[in-house]
Structure 1
């Protein structure tokens, strides 16, 4: 994760300026009380903030209203600052997502009543987290995420005994997690994920965090922390746990005594590890809403694994992620899980048919069974009750979709992937009803029809990617040069389209018309702003 560039598209910069102006009109991220209550910040704290500003690079001038002039004297009115209604002391410094750089000045120590410090989404040029932050004894909220830091987590942060929220994610941090963090007994939210951290011994320090509710340790190397399951399961208030890509190699959960474990857990994310089976105790977690085990070493029949979830979790489970494993066999009767909103089973070895009972999942929003070996004829019965469906991916199977030509689905999809499914020979009329779709892939779908001219000339307004390649679509394309197709990616290759080369808007970001029968000259355009060739 290198330092972010400050070169932004002009439109985005204009938006940032507009947002900043609105913030100024409201007195900053969280309105300061300032003159409205005849309260002003102490001179020493104003000087401390100005000293902090000296160490900051501010390419967009977010801190231009911080100053020594008389009209800027009250720092409680500065953007990003909030003061106490009673005393005027600075209690919040919120400068997240301001594209600031430079260094974090120790002048913050002159703000002894600071409870909230957010410097996230800035660029501190690979500097270390200052150790002095551990002396801001009143801090309750500390967010330094995505700020291009580096180095280890200073153990001094363990001195912040009032801290309830700590986010150091996506910050290029490395080295072991200091066990002193276990002193943060009031901490409810801890996010150390997406760094290069390691745990060289065990997670015993974590067991002291009895208040923790949200724990995110993704991409932390826990390969030698054999006590991870016992520790995290003992946290009485834990609701969300993410230990994805942590080099967990547990081969079996069968020896784990789970009778009093995970009593509040709602989300368990163990993606991209080396786990061999679904935790059998997960079926007995009556609060479990999300289970993520994609990218592990799960093998065997899917139905047998699903049986491990047949306890009280079957009524609460909303999202099941088992993609990128070695599961095989038929799809189970997912109607046993009436609350399901998302099913992700792509890239396994599943075969057999698609049960019609999937149509009974009235809450289903996302279904992905792509890249398996399913063979079936899909009819309206599979989808007739799925009015909330937003994304559907059936790609890479041997599925035939046979719908009545005049069928109107009960859903409006955002993403639709049907690559290598059989949809033809006619162009599927029901797809024309999907007006909210952003990504549409019906490539290699055995369509040997003409493109519906009216539909093609009036594509869905949110569409960003259209792939109808590798069919036998013939005839001429209508002129779409006047349409607003900003950043749309077209792939119409490997068909039988003919006639004069149609005109496309130069707003199109990519265009593939190869392996067709067009005549005439190709025009080469260059989009100067994004540097994208369109051919």
Structure 2
């Protein structure tokens, strides 16, 4: 079986064997189209970190300008490498994604596609040096000690707007300062991580947050009061946790909300049309596996049109909820065991 990655590959290889999207940096006003020496060094380091199974890499030779190498693209004005595109190559025997990205240091988006960072020692320092990083995808990397390690205190993500830490088996609580990493973040994913305990109050610092996925953890306490104070939510998934308490009617003030998944928790109390009074853009709703007491007015007409609705394993009472008849755009409806 062909092996693309070596067991002792360099961090450069780790960073580039993934799908990455980068921002083009105007680093000089040179008009000579020639490969930048720094870019050349990085390309060669990357090449040497791979078992040279693809003939394409054997044609990456210093006898030619790297801007004319196969699948390497340079800016026509400044001569900097702006893209490496291996999307046409199919790594059938490698558990890696295709390579696509820019070679200068103005990295904006980084997706490390399933590499086991638990065994790497210097990835944190390199990521921390990317001060312009806007998007960081670190899902399914076995970062089980990351949240409780001392290194997270020194993480510099001041420009970050998207952070995905799904499926890392953290099995820990969220440290108090976790939500202080960046105030500009708009999308945060922490699903499928066995995170337990309560959500730190620092969550309220993320006033620009639009997408939050905390699903499939063991989180406890009352979170909705805090979430209803974050006005820009469009996507909220806290399903499959151990959250409890009442759902305040103020959740109906999240007028930008499109997707709401709060099922499979320990919430209690009433759910009524007041909770949805201003949710005119709501598209998906999951209230399944819950003990809510549903108190919708018989003549209530929701301000939204749902595409997806799950009321599985809920107590809807003796009559079919009349308001569901008003949902003309429904394509998925789950009322099983209700």
Secondary structure (helix, strand or coil) at the match of 1:382 reads helix
Per-residue CA deviations over 1:80-124 (Å, capped at 9, x if unaligned) read xxxxxxxxxxxxxxxxxxxxxxxxxxxxxxxxxxxxxxxxxxxxx
1:342 to 228, 231, 235: 235
1:437 to 307, 330, 335: 330
- Partners of 2:187 and 2:90 in 1: how far apart? 23
Tell me the CA shift for residue 176 of structure 1. 9.0
Q: 1:343 to 1:438 in 2, by over 3 A?
A: same
1:405 to 277, 295, 298: 298
- Partners of 1:389 and 1:356 in 2: how far apart? 16
The alignment of Structure 1 onto Structure 2 pairs a total of residues equal to: 271
Aligned to 2:203: 309
Per-residue CA deviations over 1:166-199 (Å, capped at 9, x if unaligned) read 465984463799xxx9xx8x53xxxxxxxxxxxx
Aligned to 1:233: 128
Aligned to 2:275: 382
Say if 2:107 is the partner of 1:212.
yes
Secondary structure (helix, strand or coil) at the match of 1:288 reads coil
5+ residue gaps, structure 1, are 1-126, 144-159, 188-208, 446-535
Say if 2:31 is the partner of 1:138.
no
2:265 to 350, 355, 372: 372
Secondary structure (helix, strand or coil) at the match of 1:362 reads coil
Query: What's the TM-score, normalizing by structure 2?
Result: 0.71
Tell me the CA shift for residue 364 of structure 1. 0.8
Aligned to 1:426: 319
Aligned to 1:162: 81
Aligned to 2:187: 290
- Partners of 2:273 and 2:245 in 1: how far apart? 19
Aligned to 2:158: 263
- Partners of 1:233 and 1:286 in 2: how far apart? 17
Tell me the CA shift for residue 377 of structure 1. 1.4
Tell me the CA shift for residue 133 of structure 1. 6.3
Tell me the CA shift for residue 164 of structure 1. 2.8
Contact 1:284 1:309 in 2 (8 A): no
Secondary structure (helix, strand or coil) at the match of 2:118 reads coil
Contact 2:137 2:164 in 1 (8 A): yes
Secondary structure (helix, strand or coil) at the match of 1:436 reads coil
Tell me the CA shift for residue 319 of structure 1. 0.8
5+ residue gaps, structure 2, are 1-52, 73-78
1:414 to 307, 317, 320: 307
Correspondence list, 1:348-363, <5 A: 348-363=241-256
Q: 1:319 to 1:443 in 2, by over 3 A?
A: same
Aligned to 1:299: 196
Say if 2:117 is the partner of 1:222.
yes
Tell me the CA shift for residue 389 of structure 1. 0.7
Q: 1:278 to 1:350 in 2, by over 3 A?
A: same
Higher relative contact order, structure no. (Cα contacts within 8 Å, ≥ 6 residues apart): 2
Q: 1:176 to 1:324 in 2, by over 3 A?
A: closer
- Partners of 1:388 and 1:167 in 2: how far apart? 39
- Partners of 2:326 and 2:141 in 1: how far apart? 43
Say if 2:211 is the partner of 1:319.
yes
Q: Give the CA RMSD over aligned residues.
A: 3.1
Query: What's the TM-score, normalizing by structure 1?
Result: 0.46
